[in-house]
Amino acid sequence: MRQATVERKTRETQIRATVGLDGSGVYKVATGIGFLDHMLEQLSRHSLIDLEVEAKGDLHIDFHHTTEDTGIAVGQAVSKALGDRGGIVRYGSAMIPMDETMTRVSLDASNRPYLIWKVQFSKPKLGEMDTELFKEWFQAFAQAAGLTLHIENLYGENNHHIVESCYKGLARALRQAIEIDPRQTGRVPSTKGTL
């Protein structure tokens, strides 16, 4: 199985993230931020990536460092588990409806990180979490995982539904992209010979 563990320790956070790319969506997540835990559980369940995350951060200041560093650690673990990315499908996309909301996510596991984020929220917070931090998480994850990641909320009203559809869309697109393609026979899916 393609597995990896990453530990990230700074003056602001201590994070351990473990992924199993060929798992069944089993998760154990504890970041100290309830809504972020819920989103990471959605990511695991819908991508079928087994995920363990334990994070301790300076939550007495705010949620920014823990959110961003969790994205970095999980992204690094995904990239490490992918290795040279040989044999993968590489591309994935998903259209995720959630009640009144529709979100489109497309990605390329190209090892050329880039984020397009076309998502707006009507409120500054979801529970205790600043909605502006979701872009920070996706940016950190895309950068660390080596993904070209496009996320566009086409429409929606409920902020919870909007952000959850973004995480579920990432999960489904990632699941497609990291699948082993039997026709690739281990080759890196690029004319360059490397990703």
pLDDT, residue 11, reads 96
Homologous superfamily of the 3-178 domain (CATH): Imidazole glycerol phosphate dehydratase; domain 1 (3.30.230.40)
Tokens 């697109």 appear where?
A: 173
Domain ranges of the chain: 3-178
pLDDT tens figures, 130-162: 999 999 999 999 999 999 999 999 999 999 999
pLDDT, residue 124, reads 96
Which of the residues in the chain have pLDDT under 50? none
pLDDT tens figures, 62-85: 999 999 999 999 999 999 999 999
pLDDT, residue 126, reads 93
pLDDT, residue 185, reads 87
pLDDT, residue 107, reads 98
Contact present, 77 and 5 (Cβ < 8 Å) = yes
How would DSSP label each residue in the chain? Answer: --EEEEEEE-SSEEEEEEEETTS-S-EEEE-S-HHHHHHHHHHHHHHT-EEEEEEEE-TTT-SHHHHHHHHHHHHHHHHHHHTT-TTB--EEEEEEEETTEEEEEEEE-SS--EEEEE---SSSEETTEETTHHHHHHHHHHHHHT-EEEEEEEE-S-HHHHHHHHHHHHHHHHHHHHSB-TTTTT--SSTTS--
> What is the distance between the alpha carbons of residues 77 and 188, in angstroms, rounded to a whole number?
19
pLDDT, residue 1, reads 83
Six-digit token string for 142: 């895309």
